[in-house]
Amino acid sequence: MDRCSELQTTVIDDGRRILYLYLCGYMNRAFFILFLLLSVLGCARQQEDQNLKKMNSGNQNRKSEPIKTKSLSAIINSDQKRPVNKPSRKKKTEPVFISFTDNISNPSNSNSSIKEKLEYLKNLDAEIDLNEPISKHYFSSSLPSVEFPRMILLSKESFLKICVDNDIIDYTDRFYTNGIRIDLISPFLSQNPIGKILVPYWSTGMNYYGLSIIQNLYTPSTTKTGGIQYGDRPYAAYLYLGSFKITNDPLKKFRLNSELDLGIIGPYSFGEWVQRSFHKTVPTNSEPLGWEYQVQNDLVLNYQVTFDKGVFERKWGNLNLVSSASLGTLYTNIAGGFHFRVGWMNPYFANLGVARSDRLKLNHLKKAQCYFFIKGSGKLVGYDATLEGGLLNKTSVYTISSSEMSRLVFQTTAGLIITYRGFQIEAEQFLLSPEFTDGMWHKWVHIGLTFSL
């Protein structure tokens, strides 16, 4: 009888391992097909731009003076380096914006002005971001391209970033115990309709558009005890897809990040399956007990905004002030803090921290970077679905009551980043204050890999 039970258990374990390997292979193929599709679409778009350029050059009825080609960094900094002619007393130094309805009254002048500006941008090898309101003002303005003081361009760079969080290195298995985030940044994603409802920017800068997929897992202080652990954190997991935009302004030393997230919290996020599968691969881990009492299925719909403002910068280090806000069914909070870096590095607002060799050379940036960083923040918590349960579905068996929530929490991190050309690796240690009554301080490690595509 015991032999039959052992055989049955072995067969079940083997079946789960086969299923796990099959799913991993399926995900790998899915990612390969996704990247192949993006590559084909990117090539098609590039060919379309070249054909449009030939058509515009063939329709020119008059000769235009040649325009010198500049780099992207020169475009962004053009309002500082370019000499500006002194205007007459009757003219204003600020740009004059004309509405689209005014342009319709004189279509010949409007069309010729737009063609000239399109030609100007193509000669500069630049692409303006038409999702930004200021870009529309650029095309409707009566000022020539060379006198327009503000412009938001669309970055042509592409990145893949993979981040993993886990507390196993800190010898704990509780609270925020595991997380994974995969980001894909590409100019093609600027065509995502969600980009039009992300926070606009009204000055000079460079826009990066991306998609992300995130899964986070939360457990009580111990996973070895079954049943409901009253006074402890409930089991919870969520999975969502995010669409985000990063606006980088090196002139004002300012970075704006806005993101809209849509997904699910609860059993359908497959958090239980992920943790059980992981524990089976580590011999020292026991099977987690109590997932049947996790926060139940509910909608995740969240909007978050983050601001970075540089206040101190030297070749050896820099200090930024950081603020953020989240509103939605998953998190509602506001936070503020600082970010300090020291070491061998490029300016923080020069790019997103990593780039291909040709772009680094074009912008006179270091190919290799190595620096330490420290972050600290305080957060006012309005709502946390991983503790209080879903905002719409109130059928969860066990959650933390609103009166037991810690409305002010603190977080500090320290880490190291190493970058060489188009590759970056980062390691970061997190420390978080208690999130609820009788809770404990918690720590975990973050590992991130970034590839410039």
Q: Within 13 Å, how many C-alpha atoms sit on residue 130's CB side?
A: 10
pLDDT score for 127: 83
Nearest 5°: the CA angle 189, 191, 194 is 85
Can you tell me the distance from the alpha carbon of 123 to that of 141, in angstroms, rounded to the nearest whole number? 20
Per the rule left: phi > 0, alpha: psi between -120 and 50, beta: everything else, 266 is left
Residues of the chain where predicted confidence (pLDDT) is lower than 50: 1-5, 7-9, 11-12, 15, 18-23, 26, 30, 40, 44, 48, 52, 55-56, 58-109
Q: Please name the residue ranges forming H helices in 83-235.
A: 100-104, 107-123, 133-140
What is the rounded distance in angstroms from the CA atom of residue 382 to the CA atom of residue 351?
33
Report residue 328 CA to chain centroid gap: 17
The pLDDT score that the predictor gives to residue 73 is 47
Q: What local confidence, expressed as pLDDT, does residue 50 receive? A: 55
DSSP 345: -
Domain residue limits, the chain: 1-60, 109-154, 159-452
The stretches of 363-410 forming alpha helices (DSSP H) are 385-388
Domain 159-452 indexed as CATH 2.40.128.140: yes
Going by C-alpha positions, the residue among 306, 32, 31 that lies closest to residue 182 is 31
SS3 10: helix
Taking only the tens place, the pLDDT of each residue in 206-241 is: 999 999 999 999 999 999 888 999 999 999 999 999
What is the DSSP code string of 155-194?
P---EEEEEEEESGGGT---EEEEEEEEEEE-GGGGGSGG
Q: Are strands 205-219 and 254-265 parallel, antiparallel or unpaired?
A: unpaired
**Which amino acid, 299?**
L
